[in-house]
Amino acid sequence: MNELTINILRKQFNINEAVIAYVNEREKYILEKFKEIDNIKEYNQFKVIDAMQKCRLTSTDFNWTTGYGYGDVGREKVEEIYAKVFNTEDALVRPTIASGTHALTLTLSGILRPSDELIAITGAPYDTLQKVIGVKGDIPGNLMEYGIKYKEIPLVNNSIDVDKVLDSIGENTKLLLIQRSTGYSDRRALTIKEIETAVKAIKEVNNEVIIMVDNCYGEFLEHLEPTDVGVDIMAGSLIKNPGGGIALAGGYIVGKRDLVQLIANRLTAPGLGKDCGLTFGTTRTTLQGLFLAPHIVSEAVKGALLVAIVYKGLGFNVVPDIDDIRSDIIQGVELNSPKRVVEFCRGIQAASAVDSFVVPEAWEMPGYEDKVVMAAGGFIEGSSIELSADGPMREPYFVYYQGGLTYEHCKLGVLKSLNNLIEKNLIDISKIKN
C-alpha cells in the first residue's frame, strides 16, 4: 500500500495508522491463497459464458411483455441458462421470489403434502426457515400447520451422520434438507465433496427420497455445485452470489423437471406453472449479474479471508479457519460480546458507499428469534453479496461477515470494523502493535 493510499485512509476515513499497518501485515499471509480462488473463478466464468452461448442468448431476449407474461422469451431464456449453469433438467428463476427463504418455502411447500415427512439432515436450519417449518414462532401458514411432519439430525464433526439419516427415513419421509452454508451457527459450510459423499451413500440405499439443498451463499465457491453431485432440487437468492450485485431482486430453483413443475404450480397456480409470470424488464440485469457472479464471488471470498486472518491474529475464533475449504462466502468471528458485534457491524456500515452515515442497532427483525444487528449499505437493498455483516444477539456472540463487490471495498470494511472496535475500547490497541 503506497503513501497516497495510506493518507486517504487516515484523512478521509479516519483510520488509525497502526490499524492500517496491522491489516497490511496480516494480508501478506493470505495472498498465496488468492491463486486457488482465481482458479475457481476462471472455471466458473467460462462455465457461465458457455451456458449463455449454448442457449443462444441474444439482445432481443432482454425485451419483455406485460400482463400475464405469456411469450416472455427473456424469462424462458434466463431459466434455460440457469438450468445449464447448474447442470439440471429445469429451472425457475423469477424476480417475484422475494428472498432465499421464499425460494426455499416454495420448494418445500410445492413438493411436500400432508403427512409427508421432512428431515433436516444438517441440524437446525437457518432462523427464518425454522418459522416456515413451524418449529419456532407459531406463525400461521407454516408447514407443520398443514400436516407436514418434521425432524432434524445434527451434524457430527461437521459431517452429515449418514447412518442416522438412513435409520431415520421412514415410509412417510419425502424430503431430506441440506443447508450448505453456516447460517447463524459455529460450523463451517459443507463442501461439495462432503455433500457428494452423503448423497451417494443415501441414494445407494434409498433412491426415492428427494434430497434438497439450500444453496444460499454457496454459488461459485467451488468448481462444482450440489446439483452436479446428485442433489435433486436446490434453491437460492438472486441478491446473493448469483445476482452478482446487479440483479434487482428474485430467487431461483433448479433441479429435476417434475419437481420444478410442482414448485411452479405453487408459485403461480396449478395449470399455469411456468407459463406465466412477468419479469418486469429484469432479464438483462439478472443475466448480467450472473455473468459477473464468478468474479464478484471471488472478490467476496478474498475479503472473507482477510477478515479471518485479521481477527484470528487478535485471538478470536474464526469460522471457517484460514486453511479450511470455503464453500460459502460467510466469515464468522466469535467476538464473545454483544457490544463488539454491534460495533463491528457499525464499522462495516461506515465503510459502505450507500447509507454510510446510518448507525445499525439490534432490533426485532421479522423472521428471526433473537434481536439481530445488520450492516447493509448496498446498491441493492438487502444484497448480501455486497459488503455486509450481521449477527444475532445471543451467545457466543458471533458476527457474520459476507460480501463485497470488490476486494478493496472488503479491505476498507475490515479496516473500519477494527478501527471502530479500538475506538470504542473493545479491543486493546496494544494487541495490534505486538
Residue 363 has pLDDT above 80, yes or no: yes
Q: SS3 for 271?
A: coil
Q: Which residue has the cell 453456516?
A: 182
CA distance 434 to 431: 6
Architecture field, domain 65-279: 3-Layer(aba) Sandwich (3.40)
Q: DSSP secondary-structure letter at 232?
A: S
Q: DSSP secondary-structure letter at 116?
A: -
Give the model confidence (pLDDT) of 94-111 as tens digits.
999 999 999 999 999 999
Stretch 123-131: mean pLDDT: 92
Stretch 225-247: mean pLDDT: 98
Return the sign of the alpha-carbon dihedral for residues 64, 68, 70, 75: positive
Q: SS3 for 150?
A: strand
| Rounded-to-10 torsion of CA 390, 394, 396, 399 | 0
Give the model confidence (pLDDT) of 32-62 as tens digits.
999 999 999 999 999 999 999 999 999 999 9
Give the model confidence (pLDDT) of 270-293 as tens digits.
999 999 999 999 999 999 999 999
pTM (whole model) above 0.75: yes
Choosing among 3.30.540.10, 3.40.50.300, 3.90.1150.60, 3.30.1330.90, the CATH entry for 3-42+291-432 is 3.90.1150.60
CA distance 26 to 426: 20
How much is the pLDDT for 434?
60
* Banded pLDDT at 256 (limits 50, 70, 90): very high
Angular region, 382: left φ>0, alpha ψ -120 to 50, beta rest: left
Provide φ and ψ at 134, rounded to 5°. Answer: 115, 10
CA distances in angstroms from 379 to 145, 246, 361, listed in the order given: 38, 8, 20
* Banded pLDDT at 378 (limits 50, 70, 90): very high
CA distance 62 to 84: 18
* Banded pLDDT at 259 (limits 50, 70, 90): very high
Stretch 135-140: mean pLDDT: 88
* Delimiting residues of CATH 3.90.1150.60 domain(s) in the chain: 3-42+291-432
* Delimiting residues of CATH 3.40.640.10 domain(s) in the chain: 65-279
Cis, bond preceding 396 (omega within 30 deg of 0) = yes
Mean pLDDT estimate for the chain: 95
* Percent of the chain residues past pLDDT 70, beyond the cut: 100
Give the model confidence (pLDDT) of 68-92 as tens digits.
998 888 999 999 999 999 999 999 9
Please name which of 245, 56, 262, 244 lies closest in space to residue 253, comparing C-alpha atoms. 262
Is residue 48 within 8 A of residue 294, CB to CB? The reply is: yes
How much is the pLDDT for 214?
97
